[in-house]
Amino acid sequence: CKAATPQLRFAWKEVDFTWDSPEQRETAIKDGVFVKANNLPLGLARWKNKVFVTVPRWKNGVASSLNYIDLDGAPDQALKPYPSLKDNLVADDAKELPSNSSIISVFRVFVDPCDRLWVMDSGLADILGSANQVVGPSLVIFDLNTNQLLHRYYFKVSDMKEDSFFANIAVDANKDTCDDAFAYVPDLGAYGVVVYSLKQDDSWRVSHHYFHFEPLAGSYKVGGVEFHWTDGVFALALSEPRENGYRTMFFHAFSSTKEFCVSTELLRNYTHIDKNEAFHDFKLLGDRGERTQSSASFYDENTHVLFYTQVNRDGVGCWNSNKPYTPENNPLIFSDPEMYEFLNDLKVDNEGTLWFLSDKL
């Protein structure tokens, strides 16, 4: 966990996509289906030669929300819609999902060891405009070797609250038990975590005080712009399996400078336990210090280091999990307000490379 100099691999002044034909693109622009300025990359994940890049439907005119680029391709290459352009090209005012593999709006994705892409689809188009909930929030799972849809699971009514907003996902899976995977999805708007069991094809909501935002940590200043957010639990990261087979889930609210943890044993069995007794199984690790709000984190199992974005400080921080969680043990590994204004997502791939995406949000 020490200073590093990142390399710029991909960059866009404006995002474009691979279209079926030039005529299709021109028609999309003319009809307002594709509004260049409204397409802003946010999330990423790498699998082999693909780097997945998400483009949420903040506003109208997002042509494709789930995409990938070629690892060995040009720095400003067009985004390739995944699994296809047809699956992503859904009208902002749609009343239903065109097909089961259709994608509405994605913030974050997760690649698991079983060569599957897990997608958290909010189902909400034109978020900052007319806000059309095309379908309810759902988990969408693709087989990366065949690019085929494996499963789609819609959250239950009991998983959601009035202010729920689901934008992130962390997946707990092992190569030898692919069918027994679990997904953990933070609810940053209504302060909870939804747990999904692939084997049971069922989900349940976990609640705790530590999922809420800190009232004194809701102010941000990025690129000279000051704003105030109340985002709750957002960043989740999973450790390697412990001796009992369960992982530790590290988590924090976006508007917070504190880090917490809990065993996935509790999360998996939450419906069968005494909630009052379990309250104290959620632990406070410590505080990173002032202005250390973070939008995303990822734990590297090989080095036991937790990496996380530093939105107010235009960089990435890290913590060696073998050390106490203190400001001194949470250094910035790099910071550059010109290059890395508003870091939004980061991942460590299976080769140990740290990828991150900034979008000047």
Residue 180 confidence class, pLDDT cut points 50, 70, 90: very high
Q: What is the pLDDT of residues 85-117, one digit of tens each?
A: 999 999 999 999 999 999 999 999 999 999 999
**Would you say 270 and 206 are in contact if contact means Cβ atoms under 8 Å apart?**
yes
Q: What is the pLDDT of residues 288-302, one digit of tens each?
A: 999 999 999 999 999
Domain locations in the chain as residue ranges: 1-154, 214-360
Q: Is the pTM of this model over 0.75?
A: yes
- The mean pLDDT of the chain is 96
**Would you say 181 and 114 are in contact if contact means Cβ atoms under 8 Å apart?**
yes
1-154 placed in CATH 2.120.10.30: yes
Q: How far apart are CA 182 and CA 206, in angstroms?
A: 14
Displacement of CA 358 from its chain's centroid (Å) = 13
Q: Would you tell me which CATH number, out of the four given (2.120.10.30, 3.40.190.10, 1.10.287.130, 3.40.50.2300), belongs to the domain 214-360? A: 2.120.10.30
The arithmetic mean of pLDDT across residues 35-52, rounded, is 97
Q: How far apart are CA 62 and CA 349, in angstroms?
A: 27
Residue 2 confidence class, pLDDT cut points 50, 70, 90: confident
**Would you say 348 and 354 are in contact if contact means Cβ atoms under 8 Å apart?**
yes
What share of the chain has pLDDT > 90, as a percent? 94
Domain 1-154 identical in fold to domain 214-360: yes
The yes-or-no verdict on residue 361 having pLDDT over 70 is no
Q: What is the pLDDT of residues 324-352, one digit of tens each?
A: 999 999 999 999 998 898 999 999 999 99
